[in-house]
Amino acid sequence: MNKQKNGFLLFTLILYLITFFTSCGDSAHNKTTSESALSFYPNARLLVSGESLESSIGEPDTVIIDARASGYSTSHIPGAISLLWGDYTDSSTNLKPLADLESQLSAAGLNRNMRFVIYDDTTASWGAAGRIFWMLEYLGCTNAHILNGGWDKWVEEGSPAEATINTLPENAFVADIQEDRLTEKDRILSRLGDEDFVIIDPREDEEYNGWTLYGETRGGHIRDAVSVNYKWFFNSDKTVLSYEDLKDLLESREITTDKEVTSYCTAGIRSGFVYFALRLMGYEQCSNYDGSMYEWSADASAPMDAMPNYHKLVYPAWVEELIAGGDPGMANTPPTYPGNGYVIIEASSLYWKGAANPDGYNPHEDYELGHIPGAISIPLNTLDTTVDGGIYPWTCPEDGNLLPPSELQSVIESYGITYDKTAVVYCGNNSYLGGCYRVAWALMCAGVEDVRVLNGDLTAWLSNGGTLETTPNVTNPVDFGIPVPAQHPIYRTTTEEVEAMLLDPSAVVVDIRSWEEHIGDVNNYDFFDAKGHIPGDVYGENMGWYLDADETLRSYTEVEKMWWDRGITPNKKITFY
């Protein structure tokens, strides 16, 4: 088991390594933020509980704002009015001119001295409540708040609702602009590289890495931006993270209160909620860049970075489009799908069979519980040399574990895979986390030209609404198309080569086992007795470090930074063990 856990990083590290040479949190919280816990935030008054809001419904000068894009006409919090962030932006999603904003807000019945409580349907709204909160604070409102848990939590707790369309009599909204709450492109350009300046990118991994999903001119992220997914700011019940968790989420990424912090996304919506979270946590120098990626990417002189091989890491919607017969990633230039057909592979658990487990373990039991439509199952060790003995069904690793070339080719052919077919690999139900990387690496070693991994595996597929099927998919043998190479030096290193690398200052050998194994406290294997690590190597962190709490890969920029700090630099030959 531990061997497979350590082996999972092979493809991951190759992916990062290619990016490295070319480019030269917790999201699964199950804790609920209770009423008493709200008091721990430095600006706790900004976050309102459902209980508190319910008791204040109907109070004079309290305006409840429903920021959802849809659903208001069917059901909403009693007394709430509907206010949509998009009505207050121009065609570029920037705020409209001041005169227009004042006129529209006056017509909506608002004035600057009212108490506002804003809600949306949290992660499904992509920050709509935060965007309106930010707009009101920018315009000088000092009594704006967000409902903790939004409409999601309100409904879950059985709080009252109505369908009556509410409006307010016309008022006089006179703004008092707070200029430091809005960041513009020139401000960011002037601060890039400053140690006391942080840019937060709360978009999805695929957007940060380089995919263009919403008509952006260029893919990637603003140079030096820190990836902090918008969804990570919420508990599983859609309440905001506790003070301690939110503090850890930010400070673990060096986003501290002594720095100027701005946030952006595609159109300044998700980043509006990040602005709210920063205000809640007492950040005094925080702002929202409402022009965001639409504006920034359109300016060819504005610096951006992207993972050069971002297309190797795909996302659920990409796979869905592939299954539907579309051309996934066609918005990206150059196109990212060669169109030679595809195979979706579930990297199933091991066949557990040996002296200690003579009956074995059938990985298809997990596969048949549910898999991505059309996917085939490839158990991890069917691509390895195996023996029937001991707890583990593999030999000692002198040969690198992969089958000899002709046998490896025969197995791959039996799964219907040709060298030019796109292979998308993911971890299945109850499989070893990251086992897909072992299978992906084996396919790359065999010469498959286009190997992808689904970022976040089956967890990401399900959380994004993906469906499953239980009927096994049968493959027909094919001709692989090319001979499998006996040795693939791009991806595999021999023991002799490692020995030479340890004497070469232009090379580095990286241990990715657990720290306890590295320092010699434990040995989790039954086929050798030695403890410790290879003399002269570098410790490169274990599996868990390379994954965020939602099981997606850690941002490549964080990996690069860690590697640079430890001397794992792109001018060296690098191998991992």
pLDDT score recorded for residue 493: 87
pLDDT score recorded for residue 91: 84
Domain 36-180 class in CATH = alpha beta
Q: What percent of the chain has pLDDT over 90?
A: 72
- Beta sheet of 507-511, edge-to-edge order: 538-539, 507-511, 573-576
pLDDT digits (tens, 9 = 90+) for 297-326: 999 999 999 998 999 999 999 999 999 998
pLDDT score recorded for residue 28: 37
User: Per-residue pLDDT averaged across 271-282, rounded?
Assistant: 98
Q: Which of 510, 512, 359, 360 is nearest to 434 (CA)?
A: 512
Q: Which of 540, 530, 527 is nearest to 572 (CA)?
A: 540
Domain 183-305 class in CATH = alpha beta
**Domain spans, the chain:** 36-180, 183-305, 309-463, 495-576
Angstrom distances, CA of residue 351 to CA of 354, 365, 381, 388:
9, 11, 7, 11
Q: What percent of the chain has pLDDT over 70?
A: 85
The whole-angstrom separation of Cα 228 and Cα 230 is 6
**Pairwise pLDDT comparison (337 vs 330), residue with the higher score:** 337
pLDDT digits (tens, 9 = 90+) for 35-91: 555 679 999 999 999 999 999 999 988 999 999 999 999 999 999 999 999 999 998
User: Quick check: 138 and 268 in contact, CB under 8 A?
Assistant: no
Token pair 């501290």 is found at: 256
**Phi, psi of 233, rounded to the nearest 5 degrees:** -80, 0
DSSP 355: T
User: Per-residue pLDDT averaged across 338-360, rounded?
Assistant: 70
- Is 3.40.250.10 the CATH classification of the domain at 495-576? yes
413: how many CB neighbours lie within 10 A of its CB?
A: 18
DSSP 182: B
User: Per-residue pLDDT averaged across 513-539, rounded?
Assistant: 91
The whole-angstrom separation of Cα 161 and Cα 159 is 7
User: Per-residue pLDDT averaged across 280-284, rounded?
Assistant: 97
SS3 314: strand
pLDDT band at 110; cut points 50, 70, 90: very high
pLDDT score recorded for residue 571: 93
The whole-angstrom separation of Cα 575 and Cα 493 is 7
pLDDT digits (tens, 9 = 90+) for 216-229: 999 999 999 999 99
Asked if the model's pLDDT at residue 482 lies above 90, the reply is yes
**CATH topology agreement for domains 183-305 and 309-463:** yes
Considering 10-24, 110-124, 350-364, the range whose residues carry the highest mean pLDDT is: 110-124
Tokens of 264: 């952006």
The mean pLDDT of the chain is 88
**Phi, psi of 53, rounded to the nearest 5 degrees:** -65, -40
382: how many CB neighbours lie within 10 A of its CB?
A: 19
Which range, of 352-356, 459-463, 483-487, 566-570, averages the lowest pLDDT?
Answer: 352-356
The whole-angstrom separation of Cα 292 and Cα 269 is 9
pLDDT score recorded for residue 24: 44
pLDDT score recorded for residue 368: 82
pLDDT digits (tens, 9 = 90+) for 350-371: 554 444 445 555 556 678 889 9
User: Quick check: 254 and 198 in contact, CB under 8 A?
Assistant: yes
Say which residues have a Cβ less than 8 Å from residue 124's Cβ, sequence separation at least 6.
none
**Phi, psi of 361, rounded to the nearest 5 degrees:** -135, 130
- Residue/partner pairs of 188-194 with CB below 8 Å, 24 or more apart: 188/222, 188/262, 188/289, 188/296, 189/302, 191/260, 192/223, 192/224, 192/303, 193/224
Angstrom distances, CA of residue 195 to CA of 192, 254, 319, 424, 441:
9, 10, 39, 39, 38
Token pair 């519980």 is found at: 369
Asked if the model's pLDDT at residue 445 lies above 50, the reply is yes
Asked if the model's pLDDT at residue 533 lies above 70, the reply is yes
Domain 309-463 class in CATH = alpha beta
